[in-house]
Chain A
Amino acid sequence: MSDNTDEPDEATVAADLVRRIVAGDASAEGQLVERYRRGLLYLLGHLGALPDLADDLQQETFRIVIERLRQGGLADPAGLAPFLRGTARNLFTGEWRKTGRRKTYSDTGELAQAVAHTPSPLQSLLLDEEAEMVRRLIAELPTERDRQLLRRFYVDEEDKDSICADLGLDRLHFNRVLFRARQRFKELWSASRNGRPQ
């Protein structure tokens, strides 16, 4: 699913990795981990796993998938990504159920903490910085209409069609504003993360 014509597509790469792992090529196992590690960590984080748990589940996912491949591969070798995704998701769901069964709350404070997660001072600081970058981004926008567009899309989570209809925009303009906003924010964000003045 890539539009970069220089690189082989996902199905080709996945099929090749599966074939080599089935044939006992240990370097292919390393390449499998290298290729999918970051994506799996993101997926697990998106599902709600905290970093330590995401790391554990990611390793367990690779262990299960590699063992399965060593024992004979997949019916559809190009379906490696769905297999990894499904395994990670199942492991997360299993862990969540297990934790849910074990968890008891000894006092109301702990219960309140479990219900409403309060950011640490450092997290608050980082959130403040992100908000500041957004303020700067908004201040740089040329029109009030573009400001409204971003606010309604990101804050109110309205869908594209209703925003376009309300503001009298076409989809192309909408995409352009969103693309530019993301690019500019990326610059501010990267500069802030690397500690460089912009």
Chain B
Amino acid sequence: MNHTYIEENQIAERYVAGTLADAERERFEDHYLSCQECLDRLEVTEALQRGFKRMAADEDPPRPATRQLAVVAWLAHLGRSRQIGFLLAALLVLAVLPSGLALRGAAEHGRELAQVRSALEQEKQRSAANAGSAAEAEKLRVELKTSRRERASEHEQLALALQPQANVPIASLDVERGAGPLGAEPTNRLQQPAMGSIVFELPVDPPLKNSYRAILRDSQGHEITRVEDLHPSQRDSLTFSLSASLAPPGDYTFSIEGSTSGAKPIPAGRFPFRILPPPNH
């Protein structure tokens, strides 16, 4: 058995339908346990078969003719004398029925009216319930669509992230010394790349701490993101990368905090910088 054999003999389809002989089923199971191609084929085949059956069920609701055929089949199984007896009994019922119905007619009218009312009430309730489930289905449809769209977007971002990046901008920022003049513009400047990441290099002064964290804030002081567990490099600087999409053109500040075991974080420098629009803007 190989993939040509599996294809030619519809092994996957017959496996899903449960119509393979035991020996062949076992051989196919031993094969697909480690075969991604056959597992893909099995999943698609299952979905295809489900889809076909669902479609067929939608298109061919069970017909009352089946019941009529069942009665005919039952009659055919009876002996000749029983068939005649059954037919005579049916004729008798048909002859007696009209007079019986006439006697019961008046009482039936009242009962029928009550039944119609009750049926109408039930129908109303059913309509209300159906409206509810239709709304529920619509809500689910929208949720499903949104979640699929998000997933597609995540796929695209992931594919993008896995691509090698060329011309990655590296920003070596200078620490802000002293309070600086009020309203002064940042001297660290870099251009926003069209996509990808920016690598930041931030020098830290000795004595060095066990680890550092960098907090990125915008010009209003709102925190945008933070990078934890940074360790100084051999050049006494912290290096990390951030997605360029996090920081559109504008003024930002990195606040660096150092941590020692058990103590509160200690401020270890501020690095104001400005991101300029890309060159084509």
A96 at the interface (CB under 8 A from B): no
Q: Known: A85-B33, A195-B151. Is A185-B47 also a contact (CB below 8 A)? A: yes
Shortest beta-carbon distance, B114 to chain A, in Å? 28
Residue pair A185, B140 in contact (C-beta under 8 Å)? no
> Which A residues between 35 and 68 are near B, CB-CB below 8 angstroms?
35-36, 38-40, 42-43, 46
A127 at the interface (CB under 8 A from B): yes
Which of B81-89, B142-150, B212-220 binds A? B142-150
In the complex, A169→B51 CA distance in Å?
25
B44–A182 touching, CB < 8 Å: yes
Q: Is B36 an interface residue (CB 8 A)?
A: yes
Instruction: List A contacts of B35 (CB < 8 A).
Output: 1-2, 39
B48 near A121 (CB under 8 angstroms)? no
Is A13 in contact with chain B by the CB < 8 A criterion? yes
Q: Does A124 interact with chain B (Cβ within 8 Å)? A: yes
Given contact pairs A1-B1, A185-B51, A81 touches B45 in the complex (Cβ within 8 A): no
Complex-state Cα separation, A186 to B44, whole angstroms: 6
Closest B residue by C-beta to A193: B148
Query: How many Å from the CB of B26 to the closest CB on chain A?
Result: 7
| CB-based nearest B residue for A82 | B30
A47 → chain B, closest Cβ, in Å? Answer: 10
Q: How far is the CA of A127 from the CA of B144 in the complex (A)?
A: 13
Q: Are A39 and B34 in contact (CB-based, < 8 A)?
A: yes
In whole angstroms, what is the CA distance A196 to B30 when docked?
Answer: 35
B55, chain A: closest CB distance, angstroms = 4
Contact between chains at B7 and A175 (CB < 8 Å)? yes
Residues on A with beta carbons closer than 8 Å to the beta carbon of B149: 195
Contact A195 B145 (CB under 8 A): yes
Is A122 located at the chain interface by the 8 A CB criterion?
A: yes
Q: Is B53 touching A155 in the complex (CB atoms < 8 A)?
A: yes
Instruction: Please classify how large the interface on chain A is, using the bins under 10, 10 to 19, 20 to 34, 35 or more.
Output: 35 or more
Minimal beta-carbon separation of A90 from chain B (angstroms): 14
Q: Which residues of B contact A150 (CB under 8 A)?
A: 52
When C-beta atoms are compared, the residue in chain A nearest to B54 turns out to be A131
Find out whether the CB atom of B34 lies under 8 angstroms from the CB atom of A81. Answer: yes
Contacts of A193 in B (CB 8 A): 148
Cβ-based interface call for A74 (8 A): no
**Cβ B151 vs Cβ A39 within 8 A:** no
Residues of B within 8 A of A43 (CB): 29, 32-33
Provide the bound-state CA to CA distance between A3 and B47, in Å.
Answer: 26
Q: Inside 8 A of A135's CB, which chain B residues have their CB?
A: 55
The complex places the Cα of A39 from the Cα of B36 at a distance, in Å, of 8
> Are B48 and A85 in contact, CB atoms less than 8 angstroms apart?
no
- Tell whether, in the assembled complex, residue A3 and residue B2 are in contact, meaning their CB atoms are under 8 Å apart: yes
Closest Cβ–Cβ distance, residue A61 to chain B (whole Å): 11
A-contacting residues of B (Cβ < 8 Å)? 1-4, 7-8, 10, 13, 15, 17, 19, 26-27, 29-36, 39-45, 47-56, 58, 133, 136-137, 140-141, 144-145, 147-152, 155
**18 A-B interface contacts by CB (under 8 A):** A2-B2, A3-B2, A3-B4, A38-B39, A39-B35, A81-B31, A85-B26, A124-B137, A125-B144, A127-B50, A130-B51, A131-B54, A153-B10, A154-B48, A175-B7, A182-B48, A189-B44, A195-B148
- Residues in chain A within 8 A of chain B (CB atoms): 1-3, 10, 13, 35-36, 38-40, 42-43, 46, 81-82, 84-85, 121-122, 124-125, 127-128, 130-131, 133-135, 138, 150-151, 153-155, 157, 159-160, 171, 175, 178-179, 181-182, 185-186, 189, 192-196
- 7 A-B pairs closest in CB distance: A195-B148, A39-B33, A130-B51, A134-B51, A154-B52, A131-B54, A131-B55
Further contacts, 14 of them, CB under 8 A, given A3-B4, A82-B30, A138-B55: A13-B34, A39-B35, A82-B26, A85-B26, A125-B140, A127-B54, A151-B56, A153-B13, A154-B13, A154-B49, A182-B41, A182-B45, A186-B40, A193-B148
